Amino acid sequence: MSSTSIEHPALQRVKEAFPEGSFTASRFRGQVTLVLDSSESHNVLRFLREDPECSYELLSDVTAVDYLDYPASTSKRFAVVWVLRSFSRDDLLLVKCWLDPSIETDGNEDDPALEVSSVCDIWPGAEWREREVYDMFGIRFSGHPDLRRILMWKDFPVFPLRKDYPLRGRGERENLDVIDRDAT
């Protein structure tokens, strides 16, 4: 694990439990982030939940970030971020994995490289949060019990929180049927 100057009990436990793992860590404004490979994410997240010394009982959030045209250099475009909370230790930990599109699209196609394992079997409350990430960014969660759109209609052609999606949309609002109060 790089960034050896970062002291955090969960980081040391993960390093001991996964000696072959490729991890980095960072601290920003007092918040520690563990960065790992997407193939290791499910096992590490399960360990962080079940290990008595880590005991991250609550998955507070699952979100994603699109780093398209980000000023700092990043090697990949997307990141999935899990926000974990340990009540017994009063601790918060961010876990991040990077994903990079394998195909160049106009933002409306499922990319097989944008996939990470679902954590619904670890934290059942992740179901809706993962659906939201899929709906807004197009990142799929393998093993998810019901991965379908949750905020946009099922035939919505794009993923609106991707940075290549225009702020004013692509005419979706102009093409909607107007329904007034008298409509049945």
For residue 2, being part of any structural domain is answered with no
Q: What is the CATH number of the domain that holds 40?
A: 3.30.460.80
Strand partners of residue 82: 62, 95
For residue 94, being part of any structural domain is answered with yes
For residue 114, being part of any structural domain is answered with yes
For residue 183, being part of any structural domain is answered with no
User: What would you report as the CA-atom Rg of the chain, rounded to the nearest whole angstrom?
Assistant: 19
Please state the domain count of the chain.
Answer: 1
For residue 71, being part of any structural domain is answered with yes
Please write the tens of the pLDDT for every residue from 61-76: 999 999 998 888 777 8
Please write the tens of the pLDDT for every residue from 94-142: 999 999 888 765 555 678 889 999 999 999 999 999 999 999 999 999 9
pTM score of the predicted model: 0.86
For residue 75, being part of any structural domain is answered with yes
For residue 180, being part of any structural domain is answered with no
Look up the domain containing 82 and give its range.
Answer: 9-142
For residue 169, being part of any structural domain is answered with no
